[in-house]
Chain A
Amino acid sequence: SQQGEEDPQALSIQEGENATMNCSYKTSINNLQWYRQNSGRGLVHLILIRSNEREKHSGRLRVTLDTSKKSSSLLITASRAADTASYFCATALISSGSARQLTFGSGTQLTVLP
């Protein structure tokens, strides 16, 4: 089963509207990150929220984290056509071992219609 699962799998909105994507995870984490992937491009880091933080803002992005529910949400306000992309959450696990990799979900495909 996945560590990070995004919801919904696909979201289509009109330009100017807000888009909210959710992510759930299963184990305790050190931090949670959101990445964006435009078609044919690599993943681009958007924002990071640490386990002791509850909310973070960056421009039109707002991320919340609820460690008790093991969930996070990404809100994009005043969406633009250029925001069309796949959005992934990624978790960095608390580990006593040597693991440093991020664990990704299957992503939310956001389409912003002009």
Chain B
Amino acid sequence: EAGVTQFPSHSVIEKGQTVTLRCDPISGHDNLYWYRRVMGKEIKFLLHFVKESKQDESGMPNNRFLAERTGGTYSTLKVQPAELEDSGVYFCASSQDRFPSSSANVLTFGAGSRLTVL
């Protein structure tokens, strides 16, 4: 079974430019999450999709961030325009648990996309 794949693995852009990160979850996983780790700090939740719907986007820092999951398959996270503080590693994760199942939600993570904004 293919895991969660993310692209690109590393992106270096200048302040003000746009970057789009892509995540391909495990096939059949309805739940897709985006997380971010900035400068060795905690891994922070950004948002959660259930299929193509945004279930929770409370962690999105501001309106420069736009996430989509058209068709409920892969997801993109666009940052426009990028700022210096956006630098970090963006992780995508997916899970198969059906909400509102009471089962534990164990996530499978991708390797992350490292974003460097100069």
Contacts and interface: CB of A to CB of B under 8 A. Distances in A.
Interface of A: 2, 4, 30-31, 33, 35, 40-45, 48, 50, 88, 92, 98-107
Interface string B92-118: 010001011000111111111000000
Q: Max chain B CB contacts within 10 Å: which of A4, A43, A44, A50?
A: A43
Interface in B7-35: 31, 33, 35
Contacts of A98: 55-56, 99-100
Interface stretch (B42-50, B62-70, B72-80): B42-50
B8 to A, nearest CB: 13
Contacts of B33: 101
A100 B111 CA distance: 21
A100 B112 contact: no
B4 interface: yes
9 contacts: A4-B42, A31-B104, A33-B104, A35-B109, A42-B91, A45-B108, A100-B105, A104-B42, A104-B45
Chain B contact residues, majority secondary structure: loop
Contact of A42 (B100, B104, B112): B112
A2 B99 CA distance: 25
Contact of A44 (B42, B55, B109): B109
A35 B100 CA distance: 23
A44 B40 CA distance: 17
Interface residues of B, number: 30
A41 to B, nearest CB: 5
A106 B108 contact: no
A1 to B, nearest CB: 10
A100 B104 contact: no
B21 to A, nearest CB: 14
Contacts of B112: 42
A42 B42 CA distance: 15
A37 B35 CA distance: 14
B111 A106 contact: no
A102 B109 contact: no
Given A45-B107, A48-B104, A92-B105, A101 B45 contact: yes
